[in-house]
Amino acid sequence: MAIGNCGVTTSPQGRELKDHGTALFPVSCYGGSLEEHPVPWHWHDELEVVVVERGLAAVSVDGGQYALSAGQGIFISAGALHRTLSLAPGCWLHSIVFHPRIIGAMDSIYWQQYLQPLTANPACRCVLLDGSAPWSREAVTQVEAAWQSCVAEPPGFEFQARAALSWLIYLLSRHCPAAPSAQPEKLRRSGDRVKVMLQYIQAHYGEELTTAQIAASALVSESECLRCFRAVLDASPIQYLRQLRIQKAAELLEGTDQSVSEIGALCGFQEMSYFAKTFRELKGCTPSQYRKGKRSARPVLSSGGC
Other residues' Cβ atoms within 10 Å of the Cβ of residue 191: 22
Query: Residues of 74-91 as b/e, b for ≥16 C-beta within 10 angstroms?
Result: bbbbebbbbbbebeeeeb
Chain mean position to CA 28: 14
For the CA atoms of 17, 185, 96, 240, what is the dihedral angle to 10 degrees? 50
CATH 2.40.430.10 fits 27-175, yes or no: no
Domains in the chain: boundaries: 27-175, 183-296
Paired with 304 in beta bridges are none
**CATH architecture, domain 183-296:** Orthogonal Bundle (1.10)
52 and 117 in contact (C-beta within 8 Å)? no
195 and 14 in contact (C-beta within 8 Å)? yes
Q: What is the pLDDT along the chain (306 residues), one digit of tens a residue?
A: 545 555 555 444 455 445 556 889 999 999 888 887 888 888 888 999 999 999 999 999 987 889 999 999 999 999 889 999 999 889 999 999 999 999 999 889 999 999 999 998 888 889 999 999 999 999 999 999 999 999 999 999 999 999 999 999 999 999 987 655 555 677 778 888 998 999 899 899 999 999 999 999 999 999 999 999 988 888 899 999 998 999 899 989 988 999 999 999 999 998 999 999 999 998 889 999 999 888 776 554 333 332
CA atoms within 13 A on the CB side of 273: 0
3-state SS of 205-220 is CCCCCCHHHHHHHCCC
Nearest alpha-carbon partner for 63 in 194, 201, 239: 194
> Do 27-175 and 183-296 show the same overall fold?
no
Q: Which helix (H) or strand (E) holds 85?
A: strand 82-86
